[in-house]
Structure 1
Amino acid sequence: MTDSAAQDGPGSDAVALPMAVQLAWGLDEPGTRGPRKGLSLDQLLDAAIEVADAEGLAALSMSRLAKQLGFTTMSIYRYVDSKDTLVQVLSDRVIGPPPAFDEGLSWRDALKAWAAAEFAAIFAHPWWVDIPLSAPPTGPNNMAWLEAGLQALAPTGLPDPVKLQLVMNVSLYVLGRARLMRGMLSEMPQEDNSYPAILARVLDPARFPVLTKALAAQMFETDDIDWADADFSFGLDRLLDGFESYVESYGK
């Protein structure tokens, strides 16, 4: 494929596409230079996911990937030109396509299901949140998620640019909660009840009367509540409350 052909697309033939975009959308044929090889981009990405799942994103390198596949490091460079390109393509591959949603759902329930599904997709491979967000996503799976979010808001009758803003805000909420949880799960002590025990040692009831009262009521020790899920759902519901009010008042 020539460079000019790689630049052609439905948007504009004047924009040069980065290698990661070409690979993600199947607009380039990796591994065509040199002797014929027995790898595909899909195999390479699957192996990269296996490494990151087992050892974390920091362990993923071109040499580690080559070892996982049983190939030389130089052979990997025939498929992706750098680790940065690999990670960008991997980011879209890992998030996967969105699930199909029930067409009978209200826009609010559909958007809530969309957010919950995105959250679950991220935590299927928690290291995904360790990938730096250096640019807006452009891969086909990410675009499919965006399309599904916009479709969820179709019944609102809002202008498309407004729907896009709302979907992006929900996604930012999901990403923020995911990154927070990832950090807490990675760094907080794992001993049972360690967090409330630490707070009980340092909090002065005179200075923090409401908080110490809540701790005394064992607000973190309720067996039948998954606090991570409850916090996510509570915040999402409050965000959607605001959306609902906005939708009802729009154009009045």
Structure 2
Amino acid sequence: MSLKQIVDSAIAIADKDGLSAVSMNKVAAALGFTTMALYRYVPSKEDLVLLMQDAVFDISIPEEDSAQWRENMCAFALDIMRCFQDHPWLCDIPASGIPITPNNLRIVDWALRIMSDLPLDHREKISIVVMLTSHARVHRFFQRDMDRAVQTGVHSGPVPGVSYKAALDHLVTSERFPYLSPVVLAGAYSPENDDKDGHAYGFEFDFGLARILDGIEHYVNSKL
């Protein structure tokens, strides 16, 4: 048994059944060992979750960046989003402090490399890293829960089992909601109609990312 086998097994369990399904007992059983044997490698479940998080952020970082910092920061954000997309349970891990594990530090270092020539101080650069990673995390957290709600028919309305589209068509009329109604009719309000055509993770994520980068670009230009 190796530490990598333990972490990979825990990730497989979390990918299938969620973070709450991960336990030292289940991981040990999946590997054919006793729980006590697992503790020789990992002191606690909290440590195991930390190792899982670091393992899935093993992003392939390019050796060189392109000439356009904005293009590079977009690639950075998309790679972060891909991790949350592939492993939805990442959203359930609370922030316990600044990143200190190897892969997390590699990612931060990559982002700082991209911004190395920008007229920003260290605190501003770190704030941008936090802003972009938060955008990916929050969007995926929201999208994951909305996907679950759509799939199970759960929603905030009084009639369980009714689809979002059916509920909106019934509730949102032009007389009651004159400005919301055309948005609903266009299919832009319901998560069942999320537009991913030409967008890696949906229009809302890409639109938000582009506007964040617009703001950063404007701020950078103001300091030149």
Q: Give the TM-score range, shorter chain.
A: 0.7 to 0.9
Q: 1:195 to 1:226 in 2, by over 3 A?
A: farther
Q: Does residue 240 in structure 1 map to residue 223 in structure 2?
A: no
Match of 1:127 among 67, 70, 89: 89
Q: Does residue 111 in structure 1 map to residue 73 in structure 2?
A: yes
Q: Does residue 62 in structure 1 map to residue 24 in structure 2?
A: yes
Q: Does residue 74 in structure 1 map to residue 39 in structure 2?
A: no
Rounded Cα–Cα distance in structure 1 between residues aligned with 2:62 and 2:30: 33
1:40 Cα deviation after fit: 1.3
Q: In the alignment, is the contact (CA less than 8 A) between 1:97 and 1:142 conserved in 2?
A: no
Match of 2:136 among 170, 174, 177: 174
TM-score (norm 2): 0.85
Q: 1:186 to 1:99 in 2, by over 3 A?
A: farther
Q: Does residue 88 in structure 1 map to residue 50 in structure 2?
A: yes
**Cα RMSD over matched residues?**
2.3
- The code of the aligned residue for 2:84 comes to I
Match of 2:197 among 219, 222, 225: 225
- Larger Rg computed on CA atoms: 1
Q: For residues 57-81 of structure 1, give each alpha carbon's deviation from its aligned partner in whole angstroms, at most 9, with x where no partner exists.
A: 1111010011001000111111111
1:190 Cα deviation after fit: 5.8
Rounded Cα–Cα distance in structure 2 between residues aligned with 1:215 and 1:231: 16
Q: For residues 42-64 of structure 1, give each alpha carbon's deviation from its aligned partner in whole angstroms, at most 9, with x where no partner exists.
A: 11111111211222211110100
- Unpaired segments ≥5 residues, structure 1: 1-38
Q: In the alignment, is the contact (CA less than 8 A) between 2:196 and 2:203 conserved in 1?
A: no
1:233 Cα deviation after fit: 0.5
Q: In the alignment, is the contact (CA less than 8 A) between 1:53 and 1:125 conserved in 2?
A: yes
Rounded Cα–Cα distance in structure 2 between residues aligned with 1:223 and 1:249: 34
Match of 1:211 among 175, 180, 192: 180
Q: In the alignment, is the contact (CA less than 8 A) between 1:98 and 1:118 conserved in 2?
A: no
Q: In the alignment, is the contact (CA less than 8 A) between 1:47 and 1:69 conserved in 2?
A: yes
Match of 2:6 among 44, 51, 61: 44
Rounded Cα–Cα distance in structure 2 between residues aligned with 1:101 and 1:200: 51
Percentage of matched positions with identical amino acids: 34
- The code of the aligned residue for 2:182 comes to K
Q: Does residue 202 in structure 1 map to residue 202 in structure 2?
A: no
Q: 1:176 to 1:105 in 2, by over 3 A?
A: farther
SS of the equivalent of 2:70 reads helix
Rounded Cα–Cα distance in structure 2 between residues aligned with 1:235 and 1:87: 29
Q: In the alignment, is the contact (CA less than 8 A) between 2:59 and 2:79 conserved in 1?
A: no
